[in-house]
Structure 1
Amino acid sequence: MNAIEMETDVLVIGGGISGCALAYFLAQEGLEIMLVERSGLNSAASGSNSGSLHGQIPHDTFLEKGEEWAHSFGPTLGLMRESLDLWKTIEDILDADLEVRLVGGLLVAKTESEMKAINAKAVIENKFGIESEYLDRNDLRDIAPYISEDMVGAMFYPDEGKANPLLVAPAFAVQAEKLGVHIFRQTEVVGIAKEKTTFRAHTTKGAIRCHRVVNCAGIDVSRICAMVGVEGVIKASPIQTNVTAPIPSLIKHLVYSASDRLTLKQTTNGSCLIGGGWPSNLDSSTDRLSVSYDSVVGNLAVAIEMVPQLEAAQLVRTWPALVNGTDNWIPILGESDNVSGFFVSAFPWMGFTGGLIAAQLTADMLMNRPAHPFTL
């Protein structure tokens, strides 16, 4: 990219799943698109998450925030369901194996009181069109014999699953570039000026003039918003994920615990990914992440209690990452009321699941098609 002013119709800021998918969807409409990414594509949360595809209210947050919050979150479930529908077809659309497996999710209880809380959550989810199936102890053993016999039951969510986060955003980028999208890596936006009907984005590799800006910057959303005087509510939270050496095929589902934070699944090569939002360490003076030993121990203990055979698996790596989130968990999608032409596309906490529908809805808005009422 030369240090001269360039021009485009839409400037997409952020090279994760949401930004790359949006660039692809808009290019399909024939728009002129540039995408800038301050680092490498897929280098932040979109590539460092564990690849879970969620379709339910997060149980630990439900327990923390209660039923009133769950009802306010309810409409987001519809977006997640639409995103899962997109996941079902995305490999054919992109002509790529992304290891998408919608094998179903199991929220597992070890006490009757936990099962009662799971049922209360499912009642709210059902009001918003989310299908689930109650499993007693015997049903659970039939569908998932690898789960500990100490568990009393579960709720089964048939549309949940997993995909490989290392593959998805790059696959969108490949197809977007074939459609003419200009992608600039290692290019940081350092300022944005609104000039009547256009924007002038100042980057580390020159200026870009455009008619519209879409902020898909993940944990950097609030910093980009501030450049145009829009308040951002996205915060970055440090988490970590554990991965084992490959073991024989064992875990068929996306597994959660009703007792503590856990997401557990097995990849196509046999490795088990163990996460659930356990915190990593973030040095506030350097912004450097490091692994929390306490979180490793705690997370693995929950996983082994759920699937005892994991005790023999070898842990080979734990990686920390930053995930973007908001206090209310509600997506931020749409055009700013105060800055015409400035859009935000952010799906907090579950951006890998929701990245596809966030990109599709944002594309609809840019094309002036009716969309869901999630706005800044």
Structure 2
Amino acid sequence: MMKRIKADVTVIGAGATGCGVARDLALRGLKVLLVERGDINSGASGGNHGLLHSGARYLYSDRHSAEECRDENALLRAMAPQCIEATGGLFVGVEGDDENYMADFEGLLSQSDMPHRQIDADEARALEPNLTGPIVAAYEVNDATVDPFRLSLDNVSDALSHGAELLCGTELAGVTRKGSQVTHALLKRRATGETVEVETSCVVNAAGAWAGQVAAIAGATTHVRCSKGSLLVTDHRLTTRVVNRLRRPSDADIVVPGGTVSIVGTTSSHVDNPDAAWPTTDEVDRMVDEATALLPILATTRMIRAYSGVRPLFGDPSGGDDRNVSRGFVLMDHRDEGVENLFTITGGKLTTYRLMAERAADAVCHYLGMGGPCVTRTQPLPASGDAMWTEPGAAPKKWMAGHQKGDGMICECEMVSESVIGSLVASLESQGLARGLVEVGLRSRVGKGPCQGSFCGLRLAAWMYGQGHVTGDEGLSGLAQFYKERWKGMRSVSWGENLARAELHEALQCGLFGMEVGHE
């Protein structure tokens, strides 16, 4: 029997923007259904460097976007402090970089009222000892870091507490229209093939790199340019602050601290298919070579993994350089195409997700003639228990503070215990979501440490079988997918010590347990 749901608004895509739209509309009193074909943050929001932009990076190319980042940076620090680490940031120019570009930087900072302080080379090295190269110029700015998974999970949790519904593992398969209005969204559960019919008054397309595909299903057009960015994860934290190279945006010109590691990036290359984007060895080599001019220690630092995300840039999908395309966001009302209750919100940055959500929600409420004003500027984002385990160090703190006897360790690298996994499984069940290994991994630090799941993946599967959370082939297929995702990031950094670890990884999976995990 087909399942039927009624919603005022159906939001397609549960990245940061879609989760923000769902929360904003739910807080205004609308009945919201949030639909995601994978899991929360399975697109660009889960494949970025976690930078909360000060705005300084875009002063030369896109002042409007830079100033939006400046304002949203300050707002998110106040509204969602549990998701933010106020690291501060440095822009550092090194010998060989464009001195005219450096000379213009302070003036542009001042013109945009962007907090900053110029410092000399000695102070820069005192603040960040790994900046041992030849420094020509340095500025302090208000960069920070944000946990994108906690940010989205907290938004979803608050939306659910205000009556929203969430369907993960569900894709838009079609729509029913009456004249210029979408009256029903037809959804398909990917695991079971079950069809869900949603009677809806409005649809928000927040599908990121897939926004063009979603718009086409509804009979509209959205031009999205898919720009792949690859990043590296180091085995320890190299800097206290975000460190940017003071030059025009290019490959490997930023190092972002992320808990106990650092993220080095990024690249920019056009891809036609956002589902087929992963880091390559050539990209890794190029990033290491480039980044050593900023932090020479990177030449001898072990890389745990690499990963890629696909930026949804608004513009012609073909031709030109992706770095020349605006990082601003676009809200599209498809009325002129004959679909009056479809809105697409795309482009933008993680830093501006809340503003994007506000603009989309304003358009929806204006169209429907219902809902109050936006309150996300003044109402703090509650910290949810569902999201706390994405934070590096959260699980060890809890375990060391007084673990119960018999609370065994699942992941020794990140000290994730059985009780943590139990709470995550309970949370997934309460939301009606899948409770497999991949879902648990997304919401915790399992598999994120130096062994990349070699040991904890097996422990996690065994524990979940023992607790009855998975049965039959569920655990094995989940484990295969868990390892597949880990291997995507390991294979392009498999040299030296990492190559030996990759061989151990394969020996455990294939030699000991007979698992042949398919890899693209």
Q: TM over 0.5, yes or no?
A: yes
In structure 2, C-alpha distance between the alignment counterparts of 1:312 and 1:16, rounded to whole Å: 35
Hey, what's the Cα distance between the residues in 2 that align with 1:296 and 1:112?
22
**The one of 176, 192, 199 aligned to 2:175:** 192
Residue 340 (1) aligns with residue 345 (2): no
Read off the aligned partner of 2:166 and give its amino acid letter.
Answer: I
Q: Percent identity?
A: 21
Contact 1:283 1:289 in 2 (8 A): no
Between the aligned partners of 1:211 and 1:278, the Cα distance in structure 2 is: 38
Change (3 A) 1:309 1:329: closer
Other-structure match for 1:123:
107
Deviations 1:237-278 (A, max 9, x none): 22211111125xx4121111235422202222x211111235
Offset of residue 201 of structure 1: 1.4
Larger Rg belongs to:
2
Q: Distance in 1 between matches of 2:340 and 2:272?
A: 37
- Match runs of 1:78-117 below 5 Å: 78-91=67-80, 97-98=82-83, 100-111=84-95, 114-117=98-101
| Counterpart selection for 1:183 from 166, 169, 175 | 166
Letter in 1 for 2:356: A
- 1:196-219 CA-to-partner distances (Å, cap 9, x unmatched) read 555321221322121111111000
Letter in 1 for 2:343: F
Contact persistence 1:86–1:356 (CA under 8 A)? no
Residues of 1 paired with 2:23 and 2:276: CA distance? 32
Q: Is the 8 A contact 2:2 2:196 kept in 1?
A: yes
- Provide the rounded CA distance (Å) in 2 between the counterparts of 1:155 and 1:341: 46
Q: Which of 145, 158, 162 is the equivalent residue of 1:162?
A: 145
218, 221, 225: which one pairs with 1:231? 221
Q: Report the equivalent of 1:201.
A: 185
| Cα separation, 2, equivalents of 1:132 and 1:192 | 50
Match of 1:215 in 2: 205
Which of the numbers 46, 53, 66 marks the counterpart of 1:77? 66
Aligned-partner residue type, residue 85 of structure 2: R
Taking the aligned partners of 2:116 and 2:341, their CA distance within structure 1 comes to: 40
Who is 1:263 aligned against? 254
- The answer as to whether partners of 1:238 and 1:289 remain within 8 angstroms in 2 is yes
Count of equivalent residues: 347
Structure 2: gaps spanning 5 or more residues: 189-194, 315-324, 367-371, 375-520
CA distance in 1, matches of 2:9, 2:137: 50
Distance verdict in 2 for CA 1:226–1:130, change over 3 Å: farther
TM-score, length-scaled by structure 1: 0.82
- Measure the CA separation in 2 of the matches of 1:89 and 1:161: 13
Residue number in structure 2 paired with 1:17: 16
- 1:36–1:184 Cα contact (<8 Å) kept: yes
Q: 1:289 aligns with which of 264, 273, 277?
A: 277
Do the aligned residues in 2 keep the contact of 1:109 with 1:154 (CA within 8 Å)? Answer: yes
Secondary structure of the corresponding residue to residue 306 of structure 1: coil
Distance of aligned partners of 1:86 and 1:333 in 2 relative to their CA distance in 1, 3 Å threshold: farther
The structural deviation recorded for 1:17 is 0.6
Tell me if structure 2 keeps the 8 A contact 1:86–1:357: no
Structure 1 segments unaligned to the other structure (5+ residues):
372-376
- Equivalent-residue separation in structure 1 for 2:359 and 2:32 (angstroms): 17
* 1:56 and 2:55 correspond: yes
Amino acid of the structure 1 residue aligned with 2:282: D
Alignment partner of 1:55: what SS?
A: coil
**SS of the counterpart of 2:134?**
coil
Q: Distance in 1 between matches of 2:118 and 2:98?
A: 13
Q: Is the 8 A contact 1:21 1:359 kept in 2?
A: yes
Residue 244 of structure 1 is matched in structure 2 by 234
By relative contact order (CA 8 Å, sep 6+), the higher-ranking structure is 1
Query: How far, CA to CA, are the matches of 2:158 and 2:363 in structure 1?
Result: 21
1:57-114 alpha-carbon deviations (Å, 9 max, x no partner): 546xx8xxxx6xx3xx32222322232123213435xxxx32x123222221113762
1:142 to partner: Cα distance:
4.3
Q: Please say if 1:313 is aligned against 2:301.
A: yes
If the length of structure 2 is used for normalisation, what is the TM-score? 0.61
Cα deviation digits, residues 28-78 of structure 1 (max 9, x gap)? 11110001111111111111212111232546xx8xxxx6xx3xx322223
Q: 2:32 matched to which residue of 1?
A: 33
Distance change (3 Å), C-alpha of 1:192 and 1:132: farther
Secondary structure of residue in 2 paired with 1:38:
coil
Greater helix share, structure number: 2
Q: The residue matched to 1:43 in structure 2 has which SS?
A: coil
Q: Which amino acid aligns with 2:86?
A: L
Partner of 1:374: none
Letter of the 2:254 partner, please give it: T
Aligned to 2:502: none
